[in-house]
């Protein structure tokens, strides 16, 4: 496919996902299945165009004066990819499979590219109904934080200490220009190319041998700061596919007991294969038999650490899932807050006297973060917030600079602050 034909395809996919309010991944998959002529490189390029258009959906619509998929793509090509008017016009030639030629108003708007008079939520590319909460989280920096969350995410990997070191992986991946992570001692980073894509790391020998896992550096960091130690009894209460479970096993050096569970048993499916590849030998997967069944009842009040990677809106991962921010609705936020309260109550029953709950979200919204901890402490007697200085005091490195991003109860990461996804961490301890 030509570059112009790929743009036409991206516009078509956007029309489908916007009109039917469906995930971008589903729309892209259906498009590919119905057009077998498109090769893997074509599909990847089209996906990159679609996701880039969604990153700047609100601001592109404002600049172009239209929310039509064509307008979103035009705005993205000019503002995110930096294409000039002549280059855009050559792609929108109307010839072959190219989109129709530019109209006069489109040319004028592409020349002006003006956000003058745009409300802050448009400039930040944040849904308008979420803007009050987003602004409450970041104050005067909210627009800049939104812009950062509308950018492209790098690819981060975590060196698996059970099988490899970051230094060794730096050598193995020298051909892909890796960067050492700024915060996590196990992180390597690969920047996306001009088309938004990074290297194909899951085809590397070190991946198949378990030497690394793909994991955002922020996810690595909050897991490290949770404070798991070798020999402890640790629970990953919302384990999902097991990214943090694997990181915990490595931090525990395969010593102690590590339980992984999730209310949605289907999400645990990939963890079995990942565990076998990683060399983690201290993990026990507990699968709930039914809704309401507690698969960890036998270790009630025994855990040194319960890690709660709580269900949330995922606002901190908008760089990776730009379509999600436009599909989330107020009712979903209320449901997530309810879910968070329930999972914290479960964690409270599992942690022992003197033990810790590490509450984590990939959200930047205060309702899901500090407010959730405040509500928990108000409901649950015998627990107190762990001072952030104590959370940041780690033998793994000097994390004192992260205190700049303190919240009422914990710490908030973001692409602009830490170069990571938008993770939140707060720890509470059960009084001895």
Active site residues: 362
Residue 421 contacts residue 415 (beta carbons within 8 Å): yes
* Residue 421 assigned to a binding site: no
Nearest-angstrom CA–CA distance, 317 and 177: 24
- Residue 367's nearest CA partner among 406, 341, 397, 398 is 341
Q: Give the start-end residues of each E strand in 324-407.
A: 351-361, 383-385, 393-394, 397-398
Pairing of strands 303-309, 351-361: parallel
- The reply, when asked if residue 216 is annotated as ligand binding, is no
Which residues are bridge partners to 424 per DSSP? 361, 412
d(CA 15, CA 12): 5
SS (H, E, C) 46-65: HHHHHHHHHHCHHHHHHHHC
CB 240, CB 287: distance < 8 Å? no
Using a 10 angstrom Cβ sphere, with 0-12 exposed, 13-18 middle and 19 or more buried, the burial of residue 280 is buried
End-to-end CA distance of the chain: 66
Question: What is the rounded CA–CA span in Å between residue 162 and residue 45?
Answer: 36
Q: What does the block give as tokens for 273?
A: 């294969």
Angle, CA of 99, 20 and 32, to the nearest 5°: 55
**CB contact set of 61 (below 8 Å; sequence gap of 6+):** 67, 71, 72, 75, 122
Please state, in angstroms and as integers, the Cα–Cα distance from residue 72 to each residue in 18, 56, 361, following that order. Answer: 11, 8, 30
User: What is the number of other CB atoms lying within 10 angstroms of the CB of residue 378?
Assistant: 8
Binding residues for S-adenosyl-L-methionine: 262, 309
């Amino acid at each position: 496919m030509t570059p112009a034909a790929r743009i036409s395809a991206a516009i078509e996919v956007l029309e489908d996902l916007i009109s039917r309010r469906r995930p971008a991944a589903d729309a892209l998959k259906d498009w590919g299945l119905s057009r077998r002529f498109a090769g893997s490189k074509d599909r990847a390029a089209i996906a990159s165009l679609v996701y880039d258009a969604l990153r700047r959906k609100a601001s592109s619509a404002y600049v172009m004066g239209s929310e039509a998929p064509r307008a979103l793509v035009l705005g993205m090509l000019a503002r995110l990819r930096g294409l000039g008017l002549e280059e855009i016009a050559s792609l929108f030639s109307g010839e072959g499979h190219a989109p129709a030629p530019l109209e006069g108003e489109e040319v004028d708007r592409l020349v002006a590219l003006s956000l003058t008079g745009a409300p802050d939520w448009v400039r930040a590319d944040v849904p308008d109904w979420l803007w009050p909460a987003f602004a409450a989280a970041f104050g005067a920096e909210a627009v800049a934080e939104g812009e950062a969350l509308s950018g492209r995410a790098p690819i981060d990997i975590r060196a698996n200490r059970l099988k490899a070191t970051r230094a060794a992986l730096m050598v193995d991946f020298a051909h892909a220009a890796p960067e050492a992570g700024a915060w996590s001692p196990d992180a390597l980073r690969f920047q996306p190319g001009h088309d938004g894509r990074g290297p194909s790391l899951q085809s590397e020998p070190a991946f198949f041998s378990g030497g690394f896992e793909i994991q955002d550096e922020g996810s690595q960091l909050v897991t490290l700061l949770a404070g798991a130690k070798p020999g402890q009894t640790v629970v990953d209460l919302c384990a999902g596919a097991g990214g943090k479970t694997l990181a915990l096993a490595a931090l525990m050096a395969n010593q102690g007991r590590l339980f992984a569970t999730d209310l949605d048993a289907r999400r645990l499916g990939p963890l079995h294969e990942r565990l076998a590849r990683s060399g983690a030998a201290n993990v026990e997967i507990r699968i709930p038999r039914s809704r309401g069944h507690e698969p960890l009842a036998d270790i009630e009040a025994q855990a040194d650490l319960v890690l709660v990677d709580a269900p949330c809106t995922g606002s901190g991962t908008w760089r990776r899932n730009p379509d999600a921010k436009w599909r989330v609705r107020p009712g979903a936020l209320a449901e997530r807050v309810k879910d968070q309260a329930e999972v914290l109550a479960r964690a409270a029953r599992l942690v022992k006297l003197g033990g810790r709950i590490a509450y984590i979200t990939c959200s930047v919204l205060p309702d899901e973060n500090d407010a959730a901890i405040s509500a928990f402490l108000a409901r649950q007697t015998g627990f107190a917030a762990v001072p952030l200085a104590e959370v940041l005091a780690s033998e793994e490195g000097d994390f004192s600079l992260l205190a700049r991003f303190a919240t009422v109860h914990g710490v908030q990461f973001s692409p602009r602050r830490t170069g990571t996804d938008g993770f939140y961490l707060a720890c509470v301890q059960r009084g001895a």
